[in-house]
């Protein structure tokens, strides 16, 4: 309990609800025990009454019937109290964030995140032709049409055109293909139930960040993590099947509430974008290695595109609510001279698995244990597209297509 309290504090969250939850839990258990005892008595009386009826001794059952009726009323009252406490407890717990991992760096916010590595970055390597923001020259070239996207859907929507659209698609296929050796490709729905959003921890804490279709009570997913994590919801997996690796390309939808006015130029922050997500269900023992694997997979994509990037270790104060440990990959945008987050590779310990009720049966063992879930973006299109067009821009203003992407662009080598 002390560990939990300390962990909550390290995130900068209020420990008050925790104490209240503990209190609620104790009271609820007492009520539950009382309810079960009452039910037991009612059951026994009912069996007696049934027996008397069958033997035709109805008269002798009257007293038991009356007593059972009263016990039944009491049961109902006790059960109602227990349910009420249960609801309050549930509501409280659903809003409590996950415990950061032991080795997660402690810090107050994003400014405290240690940068672990910087790769492929030589500041003076970039020429003036690369120091142009992508929204400038790609708009001129007809590859990015933010103006008309805004006409269609409003601010912070993007539209790719011509080779720009092709490039976006190429990135997706590239990301899928380079992970196809181990990861099963899934194409899940992008509109999901409230339960599905709750399992990953996106609800109830972050309801304002998601698009909600009231009429059908469906939510637009902010990431494929949401449907993929619920894929095995309420299932018991076999240990031999773990780790189970999945990948999915989907559109992702984010309201970006509270972010209005920040990073709004070009592709820096958009409401809808394409992403390839990689995800794994693992045993607690497999989780650390799996986390490393996902990070390698995710950074491999930007590395193969010869983009500069760095790995950031997210500290306790900046950690997502469901995560126990997260590494961000930030790709360098020479045109804006900024590091753009393009992947968050997270280990959720059993936090999501508890919400989604995903368990596994240990080989040879009895009972079930919660799995661990991990995931990260294998490639998020807009920011990689932005960094790529800036980095690969040539002095004459044309854009070279990185060799790994050419097979996906009908052999095209240069966008003019």
Partner RNA sequence: GGAGAGGUGGCCGAGUCCGGUUGAAGGCGCUCCCCUGCUAAGGGAGUAAGGGUCACAAGCCCUUCGUGGGUUCAAAUCCCACCCUCUCCGCCA
Catalytic residue among 28, 35, 245, 269: 269
β-pair partners for 380: 275
Q: Does 21 bind RNA (CB under 7 A)?
A: no
Q: Does 359 bind RNA (CB under 7 A)?
A: yes
- Residue 296: helix, strand or coil by DSSP? helix
When binding is defined by CB under 7 A, the residue of 130, 153, 173, 368 that contacts RNA is 368
20 classed as catalytic: no
Per-residue contact track with RNA, 200 to 239, x per CB under 7 A?
------------------------------------x---
Structure-token match 């076999």, residue found:
238
Q: Which is nearer to RNA, 58 or 265 (CB)?
A: 58
162 classed as catalytic: no
Q: Does 81 bind RNA (CB under 7 A)?
A: no
When binding is defined by CB under 7 A, the residue of 39, 129, 169, 233 that contacts RNA is 39
Strands 309-313 and 325-333: antiparallel
Q: Does 167 bind RNA (CB under 7 A)?
A: no
69 classed as catalytic: no
Q: Does 187 bind RNA (CB under 7 A)?
A: no
Buried b (16+ CB within 10 A) or exposed e, 185-209: ebebebebeeebbbbbbbbebbeeb
Q: Does 362 bind RNA (CB under 7 A)?
A: no
Give the contacts of 275 (CB within 8 A, at least 6 positions apart).
223, 224, 249, 250, 252, 377, 379, 380, 381
Locate 295 and state its tokens: 């990070």
Q: Does 57 bind RNA (CB under 7 A)?
A: no
Q: Which is nearer to RNA, 273 or 360 (CB)?
A: 360
When binding is defined by CB under 7 A, the residue of 13, 22, 27, 72 that contacts RNA is 72
When binding is defined by CB under 7 A, the residue of 4, 33, 115, 257 that contacts RNA is 33
Q: Does 194 bind RNA (CB under 7 A)?
A: no
Q: How many CB atoms lie within 10 A of CB 367?
A: 7
Strands 244-253 and 184-186: parallel
When binding is defined by CB under 7 A, the residue of 5, 29, 57, 151 that contacts RNA is 29
The CA-based angle 325-327-328, given to 5 degrees, is 140
When binding is defined by CB under 7 A, the residue of 17, 46, 81, 288 that contacts RNA is 46
Catalytic residue among 84, 90, 341, 413: 341
Q: Does 65 bind RNA (CB under 7 A)?
A: yes
When binding is defined by CB under 7 A, the residue of 8, 49, 268, 322 that contacts RNA is 49
Locate 85 and state its tokens: 């406490």
When binding is defined by CB under 7 A, the residue of 43, 117, 125, 187 that contacts RNA is 43
330 classed as catalytic: no
Q: Does 62 bind RNA (CB under 7 A)?
A: no
Alpha carbons 72 and 84: distance in angstroms, whole number: 18
Q: Which is nearer to RNA, 249 or 383 (CB)?
A: 249
Q: Does 286 bind RNA (CB under 7 A)?
A: no
Catalytic residue among 28, 35, 245, 254: 254
Q: For every residue of 72-124, which 3-state class applies, written as one string? A: HHHHHHHHHHHHHHHHHHHHHHHCCCCCCCCCCCCCCCHHHCCEEEEECCCHH
- By CB atoms closer than 10 A (0-12, 13-18, 19+), residue 66 is exposed
Alpha carbons 237 and 368: distance in angstroms, whole number: 9
When binding is defined by CB under 7 A, the residue of 367, 395, 396, 411 that contacts RNA is 367
344 classed as catalytic: yes
Q: Which is nearer to RNA, 196 or 346 (CB)?
A: 196
Locate 335 and state its tokens: 């045109």
- Residue 411: helix, strand or coil by DSSP? coil
Locate 297 and state its tokens: 């997979």
- Smallest gap from residue 243 Cβ to RNA (A): 20
The candidate with the shortest Cα–Cα distance to 71, out of 120, 99, 35, is 35
Q: Does 69 bind RNA (CB under 7 A)?
A: yes
When binding is defined by CB under 7 A, the residue of 12, 16, 50, 142 that contacts RNA is 50
Q: Total residues at the site for RNA (CB under 7 A)?
A: 26
- Smallest gap from residue 279 Cβ to RNA (A): 23
Q: Where does 208-298 show beta strands of DSSP type E?
A: 211-213, 218-220, 236-238, 244-253, 272-282
Q: Which residues are catalytic?
A: 254, 269, 341, 344, 383
Point out which residues bind RNA (CB under 7 A). Answer: 29, 32-33, 35-37, 39-40, 42-43, 45-47, 49-51, 53-54, 65, 68-69, 72, 236, 359, 367-368
């Amino acid at each position: 309990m002390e560990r939990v309290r300390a962990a909550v504090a390290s995130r900068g969250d209020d420990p008050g609800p925790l104490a209240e939850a503990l209190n609620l839990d104790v009271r609820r258990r007492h009520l539950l025990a009382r309810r079960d005892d009452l039910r037991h008595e009612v059951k026994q009386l009912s069996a007696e009454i049934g027996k008397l009826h069958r033997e035709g001794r109805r008269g002798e059952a009257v007293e038991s019937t009356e007593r059972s009726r009263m016990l039944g009323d009491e049961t109902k009252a006790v059960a109602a109290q227990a349910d009420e406490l249960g609801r309050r407890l549930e509501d409280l717990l659903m809003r409590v964030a996950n415990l950061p991992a032991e080795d997660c760096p402690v810090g107050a916010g994003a400014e405290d995140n240690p940068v672990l590595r910087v790769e492929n970055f030589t500041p003076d390597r970039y020429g003036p032709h690369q120091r142009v923001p992508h929204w400038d020259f790609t708009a001129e070239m007809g590859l990015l049409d933010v103006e008309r996207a805004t006409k269609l859907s409003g601010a912070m929507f993007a539209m790719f055109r011509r080779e720009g659209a092709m490039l976006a698609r190429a990135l997706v296929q590239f990301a899928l293909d380079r992970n196809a050796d181990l990861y099963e490709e899934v194409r899940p729905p992008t509109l999901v139930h409230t339960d599905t959003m709750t399992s990953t921890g996106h609800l109830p804490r972050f309801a304002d960040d998601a698009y909600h279709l009231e009429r059908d009570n469906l939510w637009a997913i902010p990431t494929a993590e949401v449907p993929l994590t619920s894929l095995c919801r309420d299932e018991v997996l076999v240990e031999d099947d773990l780790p189970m690796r999945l990948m999915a390309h989907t559109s992702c939808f984010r309201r970006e509430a509270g972010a209005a006015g920040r990073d709004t130029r070009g592709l820096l922050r958009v409401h809808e974008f394409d992403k390839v997500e990689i995800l794994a269900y693992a045993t607690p023992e497999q989780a650390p290695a799996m986390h490393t694997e996902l990070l390698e997979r995710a950074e491999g994509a930007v590395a193969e595109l010869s983009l500069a990037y760095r790995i950031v270790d997210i500290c306790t104060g900046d950690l997502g609510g469901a995560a126990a440990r997260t590494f961000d990959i930030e790709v360098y945008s020479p045109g804006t001279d900024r590091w753009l987050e393009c992947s968050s590779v997270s280990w959720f310990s059993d936090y999501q698995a508890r919400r989604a009720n995903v368990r596994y049966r240990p080989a040879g063992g009895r009972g079930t244990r919660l799995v661990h879930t991990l995931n990260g973006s294998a490639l998020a299109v807009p920011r990689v597209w932005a960094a790529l067009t800036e980095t690969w821009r040539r002095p004459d203003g044309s854009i070279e297509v990185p060799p790994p992407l050419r097979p996906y662009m009908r052999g095209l080598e240069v966008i003019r």
